[in-house]
Structure 1
Amino acid sequence: MSLNEYKNEVREFLIKMGSLNGDNHQKITWLNEEFELLKKAVNAAERDKIEHQLYDMLYLLFEMAADNNFDLDKEWRKGSKRKQEKYLK
């Protein structure tokens, strides 16, 4: 599944929930909260909690992409190319 497919899956869910609102500032607040929980899970070496927090953070990132109609696949390809050029040459 492509990144845009995940983004579109999240978009459909948000539309059903009536939550496609574009509030990036709120999502950043939530990402910060999830990041703090991730750090605690890493410090406690709790694999299940780490996986859960990574999911929550990815979901929020997909929400932001859905709200703003970003093309994640295009950005992934551009970023991958930049990383290859920067670190592998």
Structure 2
Amino acid sequence: MTRLFLPGEPLHIQAEQGRPTAFGWRGEMLEIIEINHHWRVDLGWWDPNVCINREYWEVLTDTGLLCLLYHDLPQGDWFLSRIYD
């Protein structure tokens, strides 16, 4: 079962050269050991009221957690979007 977080749970991210290497979530720091997929979504650029400009990262952590993170590029904030079972 997949657990979806809407609109996303805020994260504290450690990154190197724009790539996430670890993140803090619910009081625990999780190291990212593998990046499975990375893609960018740029929707509604013509309308600032509905604009979505994000980078998505499907990652595996050192605890075995497979999850989807996203980086809100205009704001600079990171969020947990989904956890896969």
TM-score by shorter chain over 0.5:
no
TM band (smaller chain): under 0.3
Structure of higher CA gyration radius? 1
Q: Which has the higher helix share?
A: 1
Per residue, is there more strand in 1 or in 2?
A: 2
- When the two structures are superposed, what TM-score results if normalisation uses the length of structure 2? 0.27
Superposition TM-score, scaled by structure 1 size: 0.27
Higher relative contact order (CA 8 A, sep 6+): 1
